[in-house]
Every structure is written in structure tokens, then in C-alpha cells.
């Protein structure tokens, strides 16, 4: 079944009377695609899709690696902060203990009147 249609205004399709119109058949406009061309186009489409999928897989792998590195960094920061806090509280406890011992000794000496005699000039 041939379908005839008109193409206007194309310089390459000017007919004999020169008005810029040309009548073409449907067969002339769309060349029939051969099986080889169809296979080649399908193969290229598959290659393109495979390449795209590989790129997406690689992108996802890079994103996962980046997220893992960020998580490791955050964990390390938390661990360092916990160690720093532990050292601080350990030093604070030791300082508190020293202060309690230092303040407790003068109080006990002050309460022990029998052992301490006032110094006199005669003795």
C-alpha cells in the first residue's frame, strides 16, 4: 500500500514547475530497515544499557564506601571524646581524693589537743 504525501519548502525537493512542492511516496520516505541494521541497533542499545548499569553499580559502590568512611570517622571521634572524658573524670576523682585527704588531716590535728602542747619559753 503506497501512501502519497507532499513535502513543502525543501530546496532539494523542488519539482519541475519550481514552486517548492514535491510529491513523494511512503516507500521513498522511510527506507526499510534490514535485519542486520536492526540487530546492530539492538546490540548498541544493549551495550549502552549495560554500560549505564555498570556505571550505576560503580556509583553506588563509591557512595557506600564514602558513607562507610564517614561512619568510621564519626565513630573514631566519639571514641576519642569518650577517652578524653574518661581521663578528665579520672583526674577529677584523683584531685578530689587528694583535696579530701589534705583537708581531713589538718582537721584531725586540730582536734587532737592532748598531744600538742603549747610551746613555752621554759621548755
Is the Cβ–Cβ distance between 2 and 28 less than 8 Å? Answer: no
In angstroms and rounded to an integer, the radius of gyration of the C-alpha atoms of the chain is 48
For residue 6, the cross-strand partners are 23
Residue where the block lists cell 564519626: 74
DSSP secondary structure code for residue 11 in this structure: G
The number of C-alpha atoms within 13 Å of 98 and in the hemisphere containing its C-beta is 6
* pLDDT reported for residue 117: 60
**What ranges do the domains of the chain cover?**
35-99
Could you read off the pLDDT of 42-99 as tens digits, one per residue? 999 999 999 999 999 999 999 999 999 999 999 999 999 999 999 999 999 999 999 9
Amino acid at each position: 500500500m503506497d501512501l502519497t504525501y507532499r513535502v513543502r519548502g525543501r530546496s532539494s525537493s523542488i519539482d519541475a514547475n519550481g514552486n517548492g512542492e514535491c510529491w513523494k511516496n511512503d516507500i521513498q520516505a522511510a527506507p526499510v530497515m534490514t535485519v542486520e541494521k536492526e540487530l546492530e541497533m539492538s546490540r548498541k542499545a544493549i551495550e549502552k544499557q549495560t554500560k549505564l548499569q555498570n556505571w550505576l553499580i560503580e556509583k553506588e559502590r563509591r557512595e557506600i564506601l564514602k558513607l562507610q568512611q564517614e561512619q568510621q570517622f564519626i565513630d573514631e571521634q566519639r571514641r576519642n571524646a569518650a577517652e578524653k572524658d574518661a581521663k578528665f573524670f579520672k583526674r577529677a576523682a584523683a584531685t578530689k581524693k587528694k583535696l579530701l585527704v589534705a583537708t581531713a588531716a589538718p582537721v584531725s590535728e586540730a582536734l587532737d589537743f592532748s598531744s600538742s602542747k603549747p610551746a613555752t619559753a621554759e621548755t
